Amino acid sequence: MSNTRGASVVFDGVQKSYDGENLVVKNLNLDIAHGEFLTMLGPSGSGKTTCLMMLAGFEPATHGEIYLNGNPINNVPPHKRGIGMVFQNYALFPHMSVAENLAFPLKVRGMGKAESEERINRALDMVELGAFGSRRPAQLSGGQQQRVAVARALVFDPELVLMDEPLGALDKQLREQMQYEIKHIHDNLGVTVVYVTHDQTEALTMSDRVAVFNDGIIQQLSPPDVLYESPDNSFVAQFIGENNKLAGSVVEIGKGVCTVKLDDGTIVQADPVNVHNVGDRTSVSLRPERIEVAPDNSPDNLVDGKIEEMIYLGDHIRVRMNVAGNNEFIVKVRNRRDKRPISAGDVVKVGWDAADAKALDEAI
Amino acid sequence: MSSSETMSVEEQLAAGQTEDGIVRAADGTPLKARLAKALRREKLRSFLMISPLLLFIVLSFLMPIGDMLLRSVENKIVQNTLPTVVQELERWDPASEELPDEATFAALATDLKIAVKERIHTRLGSRLNYEQSGFSGLFRSTGRAVRKMEEGPYKEQFIKADEDWGKLQTWVVLDSFKAPYTAGYFLNAVDAENTVDGVQMKAENERIYIQLFIRTMWMSLAITFMCLLLGYPVAYLLAHLPARTSNMLMILVLLPFWTSLLVRTSAWKVLLQGQGVINDLLVWVGFVDDADRLVLINNQTGTIIAMTHILLPFMILPLYSVMKTISPTYVRAAKSMGANDWTSFWKVYFPQSVPGIGAGAILVFILAIGYYITPALVGGTSGIFISNRIAFHISTSLNWGLAAALGAILLVLVLLLFYVYDKIVGIDNVKLG
């Protein structure tokens, strides 16, 4: 993030309402650093796309101010903001060839023909579509259209590029490939990227930081690993990755560890993330890969679980168990040769460390 | 050894391969024939489903139109009424500048006597009167005289009965219309006529149809252009306003559709006339002096105003349905790339709305070029269309042949324009929804 080519963005107390009754974005404060790749992640209707549209200038902020490189831009029309944008369905102009599409932002800037041709070629080479300049968008595959859209958003050297679910229309394999390509382009050019998606894998693989949106509020703003391993609340824990929930109440709270009495009476140790008082209702969150079946060592928590179902997935076995009254309790068992055989109907010991069990607010 | 040689015959058949290269089905018949057979039943069913409509169209539409168009060239009346004269005229050469011989006049007497008995000679008179005025009177007076005519020589008796029989032009006309089919109606429809010296344009002051065709064309173009100018912004609003507002607006657009055409045209009469609402308003505001009120009706202005209003929905609806499919992200994309409002409209939005313009323009133009009621009511004499003239010949002058010829020319003109349009815009680019 030492790169200085990218722009910085600040959302300062931004609110947005469409109907004057409900706030779609509630008091958004967000600093995006120079050259950062920031992803806005959230379910549909969480306000992430609205934030992007306010930044692009297509929606006015109802309250608050947005700064680009330190300058307020609320009153700057979209075409003067100099922000590149990749749209969900690419929005390639169907009546122009690929090269004409790329020439469009250069032409409106009054760039000379020689320079603009050089830039178009460079941009097309960057996305490996050098030979496709004369084609119409309709003659390209979805993945190629996607690349053209990226090239078009970058061809006029913007300091900030916005991407609104750009990979949503691609199939899984292509999507993964494009994730890496976009990431590489970002690394090479050093532009600031604000990326909107509802796909958590996309967010985790590409971003420097992820802002998880729900209900118009940023629930957590962290690098991907922190987001996954230390969720701030049960929404984030549930939204990012797979997650087991055990509902209960706090019976004792200390420094870095608390004791929770689950609803079926089981007592477990957990990391108190956002429980503060004895008696608080809580949802203990556990990642499936952090649980061991019949552990050799002695973890902080060891409870009985009945195996309900086993699904063979090659590299691991997905075991659905009934643990402490929750029969959707998922454990991922690594597929090891020396592992003791287990089968559905068995009652086995499952264990996990207190640090891996996050005592969060009560799940809705 | 190639793979096909290692296969048994059954395997080859199953794979659809044969030595002669024709792909065959499992039983050995060519696959194409097989497929055609399989599809035949489908085709037959489709045909049966549309056949009632087809029959209806053929009987009630195509056949009457064909019959009508045939009338533009059909000319059996001369042959039917004066059969022997037509035979005698075969020997006559109009270029000789001499009247036909006595035998022809004798034949005329024979034919006319029969015709008078059957009372069909006046009908021929009015038919030929379309080509040259005077024929109607000629046949009526000769019809009376021929009954009292004595046996031979007839030439002088006829000339005595009506001196027109002694004029070369009379016989030229008769000669040129003796054939069962004639180009006379079409010549007439383009202000030309057949004279002794061949086909010539009529005198300057007798020409009306070419001028009328040109007027019909340019006024239809003007109406199309006005509709586009007024309809485009409305269609844009319809396509891009929130659903509630645009539905309301849509009702306003469709409201004239549900109102009687006559009511709307009459309303324009009230609005546009000299003492009408618009003139009163302009005088009251002071734009126009009371003494010289604007002449807005019974001329071309009136026709253009009223027809633009009436045809506007036909422009708005195709435009709307095309604009509805243009995603707003295109304009957003253009703006994000630095284009201002005008550039993003003109370079990105407008080109994508061209198919709608094409569809609307062609619809309005074709409707306008054949329009009849509105020009008849508000057009006066200078604002009428060719279709008004056609209607006149159908119902008033009863010159159906000329009406058919004018209609055929109009049809060909429209088809020609279609062709030109297809070359320029491309019919594939026309979208109605």
- Are A78 and B332 an interchain contact pair (Cβ–Cβ within 8 Å)? yes
- Are B344 and A104 an interchain contact pair (Cβ–Cβ within 8 Å)? no
User: Which residues partner with A244 through β-bridges?
Assistant: A286
User: How many contiguous H segments (helices) and E segments (strands) does chain B have?
Assistant: 23, 2
Amino acid at A45: G
Residue A30 phi, psi dihedral angles, 5° rounding: -155, 130
Using the Cβ of B352 and the Cβ atoms of chain A, whether some distance falls under 8 Å is answered with: yes
Q: What is the ipTM of this complex?
A: 0.82
Q: Does position B103 have pLDDT exceeding 60, yes or no?
A: yes
Question: Given pLDDT bands bounded at 50, 70 and 90, which one contains residue A1?
Answer: very low
Of B336, B340, B352, the CB nearest to A94: B352
**Residue A1 within a domain:** no
- How many contacts, defined by CB atoms under 8 Å, are there between A and B? 67
CATH number of the domain within which A295 lies: 2.40.50.140
**Residue A211 within a domain:** yes
Q: Is B215 exposed, middle or buried (0-12, 13-18, 19+ CB in 10 A)?
A: middle
Same domain? For A85 and A165 the reply is yes
Per-residue confidence (pLDDT) for residue B18, from 0 to 100: 57
Q: Which residues of B touch A81 (CB under 8 A)?
A: 336
Of B109, B104, B175, nearest in space to B142 by CA: B109
pLDDT tens readout for residues B324-336:
999 989 999 999 9
**Residue A33 within a domain:** yes
Q: Does position A170 have pLDDT exceeding 80, yes or no?
A: yes
Of B336, B338, B352, the CB nearest to A95: B352
Distance from CA of B343 to the nearest CA of A (A): 8
pLDDT tens readout for residues A66-117:
999 999 999 999 999 999 999 988 899 999 999 999 999 999 999 999 999 9
Same domain? For A260 and A308 the reply is yes
Distance from CA of A50 to the nearest CA of B (A): 14
Q: Does position B1 have pLDDT exceeding 50, yes or no?
A: no
Average pLDDT score over residue span A132-136:
91
A176 Cβ contact partners less than 8 Å away, ≥ 6 residues apart? none
pLDDT tens readout for residues A10-44:
999 999 999 888 899 998 999 999 999 999 999 98
Q: Which residues of B touch A77 (CB under 8 A)?
A: 335, 340
Of A82, A87, A156, the CB nearest to B333: A87
**Residue A111 within a domain:** yes
Q: Does position B14 have pLDDT exceeding 70, yes or no?
A: no
Domain boundary among A234, A263, A298: A234
Domains identified in chain B and CATH numbers? 1-70 (no CATH), 76-198 (no CATH), 209-429 (1.10.3720.10)
Alpha-carbon Rg for chain B in angstroms: 33
Question: Given pLDDT bands bounded at 50, 70 and 90, which one contains residue B40?
Answer: very high
Same domain? For A213 and A274 the reply is no
Same domain? For A13 and A91 the reply is yes
A180 Cβ contact partners less than 8 Å away, ≥ 6 residues apart? A205
Question: Given pLDDT bands bounded at 50, 70 and 90, which one contains residue A126?
Answer: confident
Per-residue confidence (pLDDT) for residue B20, from 0 to 100: 66
CATH number of the domain within which A158 lies: 3.40.50.300
Question: Given pLDDT bands bounded at 50, 70 and 90, which one contains residue B12?
Answer: low
**Residue A3 within a domain:** no
Residue to mutate among A49, A50, A104, A164, with most B CBs inside 10 A, is A104
Per-residue confidence (pLDDT) for residue B156, from 0 to 100: 85
Distance from CA of B332 to the nearest CA of A (A): 7
Same domain? For A89 and A148 the reply is yes
Q: Which residues of B touch A85 (CB under 8 A)?
A: 332-333, 336-337
Q: In B241-260, which ranges are continuous DSSP H helix?
A: 243-258
**β-strands A71-72, A244-253 pairing:** unpaired
A247 neighbors A263 (Cβ within 8 angstroms): yes
Same domain? For A354 and A257 the reply is yes
B291 neighbors B367 (Cβ within 8 angstroms): no
**Residue A252 within a domain:** yes
Per-residue confidence (pLDDT) for residue B406, from 0 to 100: 93
Distance from CA of B354 to the nearest CA of A (A): 11
**Residue A4 within a domain:** no
Q: Does position B254 have pLDDT exceeding 90, yes or no?
A: no
- Are B337 and A88 an interchain contact pair (Cβ–Cβ within 8 Å)? no
- Are A93 and B336 an interchain contact pair (Cβ–Cβ within 8 Å)? no
Residue to mutate among A83, A87, A106, A157, with most B CBs inside 10 A, is A87
- Are A85 and B332 an interchain contact pair (Cβ–Cβ within 8 Å)? yes
In which region does residue B152 sit, left (phi positive, over 0), alpha (psi from -120 to 50) or beta (all else)? left
pLDDT tens readout for residues B289-321:
888 888 888 889 999 999 999 999 999 999 999
Q: Which domain holds residue A352?
A: 242-360
Question: Given pLDDT bands bounded at 50, 70 and 90, which one contains residue B234?
Answer: very high
Same domain? For A86 and A172 the reply is yes
User: Which residues partner with A86 through β-bridges?
Assistant: A163
Q: Which residues of B touch A87 (CB under 8 A)?
A: 329, 332-333
Q: What is the mean pLDDT of chain A?
A: 89
Tokens 């929804």, residue? B433
Helix B261-272 / helix B300-323 crossing angle, nearest 10 deg: 130
Q: How many domains does chain A have?
A: 2
Q: Tell me, what DSSP letter sits at residue B252?
A: H
- Are B348 and A82 an interchain contact pair (Cβ–Cβ within 8 Å)? no
Same domain? For A183 and A266 the reply is no
Per-residue confidence (pLDDT) for residue B227, from 0 to 100: 96
**Residue A130 within a domain:** yes
Q: Does position B433 have pLDDT exceeding 60, yes or no?
A: no
Please report which helix (H) or strand (E) contains residue A238, including its range.
helix A234-239
B220 neighbors B368 (Cβ within 8 angstroms): yes
Distance from CA of B352 to the nearest CA of A (A): 7
Same domain? For A291 and A185 the reply is no
Tokens 């035979």, residue? B87
Same domain? For A226 and A277 the reply is no
Positive or negative, the CA dihedral B395, B400, B405, B411 is: positive
Buried/exposed A78-100: b ≥16 CB within 10 Å, e otherwise: bbebbbbbbbbbbbbbeebbbbb
Domain boundary among A234, A251, A274: A234
Domain boundary among A184, A212, A234: A234
Average pLDDT score over residue span B211-225:
93
Q: Which residues of B touch A105 (CB under 8 A)?
A: 337-339
Same domain? For A248 and A224 the reply is no
Amino acid at A111: M
Per-residue confidence (pLDDT) for residue B50, from 0 to 100: 94
pLDDT tens readout for residues B372-422:
888 998 888 888 899 999 999 989 988 888 999 999 999 998 898 888 888
A118 Cβ contact partners less than 8 Å away, ≥ 6 residues apart? none
Same domain? For A211 and A257 the reply is no
